[in-house]
Amino acid sequence: MKQLEKPNREAYGHLLLHVPHSSSLFPSESIYSWNDLENSERLLIDYYTDELFVPQQESADISSVVFPYCRLFCDVERLVNDPLEKIGLGISYFREMPAERGCSRSFGGRVEAFNEYVDFHASVSKKLFAMGEGTLLVDCHSFSSHPNLLCSTPPDIDICIGFNDDETRPSRETLVNTVQYFKAKGYKLGINTPFSNSKTYSVPTHYHSIMIEVNKRLYMNEQTLEKSDSFHELKHDIQSLYDVLLMKCNQECQHANSSSQELLFEQNMPKKIKNKIDSDNI
């Protein structure tokens, strides 16, 4: 079998926008709905991330996959036998209620949730495989600015960029350009901390994956669930990044390529990751 080649480090031919947690809907046959969720559970939903990340019209080089159901029913980013299963946050969330309520709830039946999980994974894998070499999977999320079930002390950052320490890691240029793009617009960045890694799918083609987590404080009121005035500015900033990722060279990405920008990026990178990138000599 021919050795798979890495994508050209100067350009990605396609972006696949992966939006797993934007929905607050449960399947019509479910006995639960968003109204049954506790506030701590509602904080886990990545509200509006489909709108923030996905352009209204698909183009030849940008496609998207949006999971249609609430993550509490089925979380497609979990692993089979995920470590978080132990605290009820596996593929389908299982929640023990406080003693006074004396009950527990499982938001998805084991079979129903797993069927959705498998179907979604199959459809994304097919799409990713069809898009082929030179695709960048963009894993699109948001995080709560309030303490929640997954993060007791939310970080004081605006955007976290995550990537894996394997063959799906984007090129150095892509990471530098992404970080510098957001920094130039005044956002406070985290790099693989506190949120690390990026979603991958097992397909026989070489692609890269990058996670972008945006703080909900940037675009919505988490109590009323209303979009804030800055929603559209953030949406524009996110979707304008795609030209940089696709390396449609404009002044912005040429600027981000300068060596001084790389230095700034590396100064802000956790040492462990920097050492790994240096040792790989990309």
Site for Zn ion, rule CB under 5 A: 21, 46, 141
Instruction: Tell me how far apart the 2 most distant CA atoms of the chain are, in Å.
Output: 62
- Minimal distance, residue 163 CB to Zn ion, in Å: 16
- Minimal distance, residue 49 CB to Zn ion, in Å: 7
Cα separation, 75 vs 117, in Å, equals 7
Taking the least distance from each CB to Zn ion, the nearer of 50 and 262 is: 50
- Minimal distance, residue 230 CB to Zn ion, in Å: 20
Taking the least distance from each CB to Zn ion, the nearer of 91 and 253 is: 91
- Minimal distance, residue 141 CB to Zn ion, in Å: 3
Taking the least distance from each CB to Zn ion, the nearer of 46 and 116 is: 46
Q: Are 215 and 148 in contact (CB under 8 A)?
A: no
- Minimal distance, residue 120 CB to Zn ion, in Å: 14
φ, ψ for residue 68, nearest 5 deg: -80, -10
Kindly report whether the peptide bond that precedes residue 98 is cis, defined as omega within 30 degrees of 0. Answer: no
Q: In whole angstroms, how large is the CA radius of gyration of the chain?
A: 19
Q: Comparing C-alpha atoms, which of 150, 121, 148 is closest to residue 137? A: 121
Query: Could you give the C-alpha distances from 64 to 48, 86, 118, in angstroms and in order?
Result: 14, 31, 18
Angle at 52 between CA 83 and CA 6, to 5 degrees: 65
Taking the least distance from each CB to Zn ion, the nearer of 141 and 235 is: 141
Taking the least distance from each CB to Zn ion, the nearer of 78 and 141 is: 141
- At 255, the amino acid letter reads H
- At 106, the amino acid letter reads S
> Three-state DSSP class for 53?
helix
- Minimal distance, residue 21 CB to Zn ion, in Å: 4
Taking the least distance from each CB to Zn ion, the nearer of 47 and 265 is: 47
